[in-house]
A and B are shown apart, each in its own frame.
Chain A
Amino acid sequence: MKPMTRKNLVVWIALLPMAATVLLAYLGTMLWSARMSVSGSRTFPSYDFVGAAQYMRLFDNERWLLSLQNVALYGVLFIAACLVIGFLLAVFIDQKVMAEGVLRTVFLYPYAMSFVATGLIWQWMLNPELGIQQVLRQMGFANARFDWIVDQDMVIYTLVIATVWQASGLVMALLLSGLRGIDEELWKAARIDGIPRWRVYASIVLPMLGPSLSTAFVLLFVMVVKVFDAVVAMTQGGPGTASEVPAKFIMDYLFGRANVGLASAASIVLLATVLAIVAPLYFVRGRASRLKEA
């Protein structure tokens, strides 16, 4: 190691906020939460050691298991719907349509809004007494039912609708910039060979959008793991506990129920899930880009 020169010293002083953030705010908090998850902490941290007891209690906790089940169903539907709708919007906008700028603005504006506002708007639209259900009944469908937001079995789908409305424009924007990077020669070649456009999209363009799709997937996946604001604003986890999610479980046990040990165990499970999904994707992509450079 070189002796610390004056030049290096200045650079490191400039990087001090970053070093402190990485070491204390990111690594430090992770280690602390991991430590808490193997302690019996309630309101205040304690430093006893209870082994995996908190994790076992966690996976005996019905509300946690329900949260996991909810977020899994929500996540699959949310990610699939956003990718499909975003892809279709991008492809259809890419057909040299009129008013492209207007359409793009319309599809992306919900993404500028907060999840709280998103949840509140849809809570109102789906209101069983005065919302869409009532409109359907006034239109003559006297028995129309669209009270999903107060239905334990259907409430999770309302969450999907609201957040897909908010986030699918993001996928469209990402894929559209991917589509614009595709060479026009491809289309000429396909036309000469008489390959229908949809075939080209399905067999050639879609694989070429791989990097954009994986970026979109990672962004959506992180949103799923973090989903909290929208639930709090839209359903407060209800009716009953039918729309509970892990992020909300952790917040409730940290602050409402003062059970830091259990909440920390839950947060470490969440962290492990994220790393298990995101790290391999980034590893593969990093290797692919290195291969390309070589």
Chain B
Amino acid sequence: MSATMPVKSATRRRLGWTPARAGVYGFLIVAALFFLLPLYVMIMTSLKPMEEIRLGTLFALPLRPTLDAWSVAWQSACTGLECSGIRGGFWNSVRIVVPSAVLSIAIGAVNGYALSFWRPRGAGVLFAILMMGAFIPAQVMIYPLVRVLAAAHLYSSLPGIVLIHTIFGMPVMTLLFRNYYASLPLELFKAARIDGGGFWRIFLQLMLPMSTPVIVVAAIMQVTGIWNDFLLGLVFAGADNLPMTVQLNNIINTTTGERLYNVNMAATILTSMVPLALYFISGRWFVRGIASGAVKG
């Protein structure tokens, strides 16, 4: 199963069955049901035709399960006048996430490497300010960034939103790689220096090949975070590049006429599919990302 951390084998000792023990399981089972309920409701609603939904039996299994709502959500649900489903948003999100994740990881790796091993004068101060940057509410930065991007003709464009994600991802990515490289033995770096390695050669040929674990964690964090972003996509991506989360919200909250709850829930599942799949496949790494990127805001 995913999300398993190493457990000291000596501590694996079952306790006897007591009332306290029953209480522990009782609490955990009730809590698990509470956490699973929305997922259950979401899936069941997406499989029901509207007549069944109008019965008001939220928790019931579908009597005649159908995938119609899923196909409507994917290719013909309406946002305003346009009725082409949520697939456009899916591909927009892919186009935003891939370059943003690659760029922010690459820059984070170079930053972390330079900060851990080369330590140029003044870089420590920059890093400290960058870390404070992780806590700055985006609202403080949005308006000036809009003006700057507009002046550079990057506002409402794909390169613009990629740049924005790179900027907002930089604190966590830099911290992640800096901590990772700080845990490597310094002798390794010194030996490479003595052998005449330069800045880029040591990075590309020595450090990068050893960075696979941290790159995996970084990729999970960035893909999940950028895919789930709403605010930045709403402001910076522009009408042609709206990410899936923004389109999802538009489909559900701006429709006129009858609300198709089955379509809404199918669209919500479709939008959550990428981060959820990533989470279920990579649980342990996902948790590691949470622990190491604990300043993320």
Contacts and interface: CB of A to CB of B under 8 A. Distances in A.
Interface of A: 1-2, 7-8, 10-12, 14-15, 17-19, 21-22, 24-30, 32-33, 36, 45, 85, 88-89, 92-93, 95-97, 100-117, 120-125, 127, 129-132, 134-135, 138, 165, 169-170, 173-174, 176-177, 180, 184, 215, 218-219, 222-223, 225-226, 228-229, 232-233, 236, 247, 250-251, 254-255, 260, 263-264, 266-268, 270-271, 274-275, 278-279
Contacts of A11: 114, 118, 120, 199
A173 B15 contact: no
Contacts of A180: 5, 7
5 contacts: A36-B143, A96-B12, A101-B4, A124-B45, A134-B58
A105 to B, nearest CB: 5
B188 interface: no
B231 A105 contact: no
Contacts of A29: 140-141, 144-145
Interface string B224-257: 1001111100010000000001001100110000
Contacts of A275: 132, 135
Contacts of A263: 139, 143
Q: Is the interface of A mostly helix, strand, loop or mixed?
A: helix
B287 interface: yes
Contacts of A122: 38
Contact of B35 (A7, A28, A110, A173): A110
Contacts of B235: 255
Given A26-B136, A124-B45, 7 more contacts: A18-B111, A22-B129, A33-B140, A113-B272, A124-B261, A169-B35, A254-B139
Contacts of A123: 252
Interface core residue of B11, B58, B229, B252 (most chain A CB under 10 Å): B58
Contact of A264 (B130, B135, B143, B227): B143
B28 A103 contact: yes
B41 A125 contact: yes
A267 B167 contact: no
The 5 closest A-B pairs by CB, nearest first: A101-B1, A114-B228, A134-B56, A112-B279, A29-B144
Given A25-B141, A254-B142, A274-B137, A174 B290 contact: yes
Interface of B: 1-5, 7-8, 10-15, 21, 24-25, 27-28, 31-32, 34-39, 41-42, 45, 53-54, 56-59, 107, 110-111, 114, 118, 120-121, 123, 126-127, 129-130, 132-133, 135-145, 147-148, 166-167, 170, 174, 198-200, 224, 227-231, 235, 245, 248-249, 252-253, 261, 264-265, 268, 271-272, 275-276, 278-280, 283, 286-287, 290-291, 294-297
Contacts of A15: 110-111, 114, 120, 123, 126
Nearest to A12: B120
Nearest to B13: A96
A223 B264 CA distance: 26
Contacts of B137: 225-226, 247, 267, 270-271, 274
Q: Is the interface of B mostly helix, strand, loop or mixed?
A: helix
A167 to B, nearest CB: 11
B120 A120 contact: no
A103 B4 CA distance: 10
Nearest to A137: B56
Given A95-B15, A120-B248, A135-B57, A184 B8 contact: yes
A96 B11 contact: yes
Contacts of B36: 106
Contacts of B145: 25, 29
A10 B1 CA distance: 45
Contact of A233 (B114, B132, B253): B253
B246 to A, nearest CB: 8
A124 B265 contact: yes
A184 B28 contact: no
Contacts of A112: 224, 272, 275-276, 278-279, 286
Contacts of A267: 137, 139-140, 143
Given A104-B3, A116-B248, A264-B143, A22 B265 contact: no
B56 A115 contact: no
A176 B5 contact: yes
Given A15-B126, A30-B140, A135-B56, A100 B290 contact: no
Contacts of A226: 137-138, 297
A233 to B, nearest CB: 5
A223 to B, nearest CB: 8
Contacts of A89: 28, 31
Nearest to B137: A270
Contacts of B166: 17
A264 to B, nearest CB: 7
Interface core residue of A1, A7, A114, A130 (most chain B CB under 10 Å): A114
A208 to B, nearest CB: 16
Nearest to B293: A219
Contacts of B279: 108-109, 112
Interface core residue of A12, A109, A135, A174 (most chain B CB under 10 Å): A109
A227 B15 CA distance: 42
